Amino acid sequence: MARSPLRVGIISAAWGAKAHLPAWRSLEGIEVTAICTSRAETATKAADEFKISRAFHDFRTMAADPDIDIVDCGTRPPLRYAMVMAALGAGKHVYNGIPFAKDLADARSMAEASRATGTVAIVDAFMQAVPAMVQMKAMVEADWIGEVFGADIAFEVPLFSAAQTNVPGYVWFADPANGASAGRNLGSHMLHLLVHFFGPVASVAADQSLALKMWPLDGKMIQPQVPDRASLLLRHGSGLPTRVEANWSKIGGEGFRFSIWGSKGRLEARAPVFPMAHDTRLFGTRNAMLGTARMDEISVEPEYLTVPGCRAVADRPETGLLALASIFAAMRDAINDKGVAAPDFAQALHVHEVVEAAARAADERRWIDL
C-alpha cells in the first residue's frame, strides 16, 4: 500500500501549474509538495506564487527525491522525454503530456521503461474523462445506437489565425523538431478518444498540409513549418471505420465534434473549443426519417458529474479541472491498488504509432497498416 497522502512534484510553472495544480489539489489523498523550473529564481518564484513548499531547478534532483511519489511532466515533447525517463528510472509514478513524444523512438523507449519499472504511468489525454464523453460511451455500450457503424471526430479552431489568439507561449507548435502539428497535437487527443471507445487502429490513410503561412503570436510574426490541418481515415482492428479532422487555423471553426452512429441512432458530443466538463454537451437522435437533422440535447446524468474523493465541480470553467481530476484520481487509486489507471503509456504508444503512420500515409499517398 502506498503512503497517504501521495506527494506530487510538478515540472512546469506554466500549463502544469495553471491547469494541473488545481486538479491535483482537488483530490483527497494527494499533496503537491514540489515544483520545478529550469532556473533557481523562477522555481522559487513559482513555489511562492502557487504556495508550494519546495522548489527545484533540476528535474533529475526532484525525480530522485525520496519524498516525491508522482512526477507530473510538463513542457514540450523533446524536453519531457528526459524528464519522464529520469522519473521512471527513479521508480516514480509519472504523468506525461500530449503529444506523447517527439518521435517514435522516444515513444517506444518511454513505454518500455514504464513496463520495466511497473510504476503507474499515464498521459494527458483527458477527453475520455469528460462527463459527456463518459456517458456517451456508456450509452453506446448499452446499445442506445444499436450496432455501431462508424464515427467522425473533428477539432477545428482558429488558434493561430489572429492576434487575439488564446494560446500565447505556444511558439513551439510551429517547429517540427518539437514533434508538433495539428495532427500530432489535436489529432493525438482525438485518437486517444477513438482508441478508448473502439479499440486499436489497424490501418490509416491521411492527407495533411500547411495553409496559414504566418502566425501573429507573442508580439511577432511566426512562420510555421508544420501542417496546420490533417485528415485521417482509420480502420480499427474490429473493422470499424472512423475519421479524424484536425485543423488549428480554421476561421469560424466549429470547435470539437464527436459523432457516432449505428443501426438505431446517432450520438454527438460538442464543445466550443477543447472539450471541458462544463461546456461539452451531448446530443442524440433515433429518428430515421430521411433528411432530418434534428438532434435533441441529452442531459448528462449526475453520476457522471462527480469523482469519488474529489472536490472539483463539473460546472467550473477552469481548464480541464474535473476531467483532469478524474484521470488523476484513477492514477491515485491505481497506485493504492484500487483500480487501473488510464490512458496509460501502452495506449499512448499505440496512438503515437498511428500518428507516425498517418504522416507516412500522407507522404506516400497510400494506406499504411500498423
Residue 265 lies in a domain: yes
Do 192 and 297 lie in a common domain?
yes
Residue 172 lies in a domain: yes
Give the 3-state DSSP-derived string for the chain, with helices as H, strands as E and coil as C: CCCCCEEEEEECCCHHHHHHHHHHHCECCEEEEEEECCCHHHHHHHHHHCCCCEEECCHHHHHHCCCCCEEEECCCHHHHHHHHHHHHHCCCEEEECCCCCCCHHHHHHHHHHHHHHCCCEEECCHHHHCHHHHHHHHHHHCCCCCCEEEEEEEEECECCCCCCCCCCCCHHHHCHHHCCCHHHHHHHHHHHHHHHHHCCEEEEEEEEECCCCCEEECCEEECCCCCCEEEEEEEECCCCEEEEEEECECCCCCEEEEEEEECCCEEEEEECCCCCCCCCEEEEECCCCCCCCCCEEECCCHHHCCCCCECCCCCCCCCCHHHHHHHHHHHHHHHCCCCCCCCEHHHHHHHHHHHHHHHHHHHHCCCEEC
Do 357 and 326 lie in a common domain?
no
Residue 310 lies in a domain: no
Do 103 and 156 lie in a common domain?
no
Domain of residue 17, CATH code: 3.40.50.720
Residue 312 lies in a domain: no
Do 37 and 73 lie in a common domain?
yes
Do 203 and 274 lie in a common domain?
yes
Residue 316 lies in a domain: no
Do 64 and 46 lie in a common domain?
yes
Residue 39 lies in a domain: yes
Residue 160 lies in a domain: yes
Do 357 and 288 lie in a common domain?
yes
Note the pTM of the prediction, 2 decimals. Answer: 0.95
Domain that holds residue 172: 127-305+352-364
Do 279 and 186 lie in a common domain?
yes
Domain of residue 254, CATH code: 3.30.360.10
Do 238 and 300 lie in a common domain?
yes
Do 138 and 284 lie in a common domain?
yes
Q: How many domains does the chain have?
A: 2
Do 15 and 43 lie in a common domain?
yes
pLDDT tens digit at each of 370 positions of the chain: 577 899 999 998 887 788 899 999 999 999 999 999 999 999 999 999 999 999 999 999 999 999 999 999 988 888 999 999 999 999 999 999 999 999 999 999 999 999 999 999 999 999 999 999 999 999 999 999 999 999 999 999 988 887 555 555 678 889 999 999 999 999 999 999 999 999 999 999 999 999 999 988 777 888 999 999 999 999 999 999 999 999 999 988 889 999 999 999 999 999 998 999 999 999 999 987 766 668 999 999 999 999 999 998 887 777 678 999 999 999 999 999 999 999 999 999 999 999 999 999 999 999 999 9
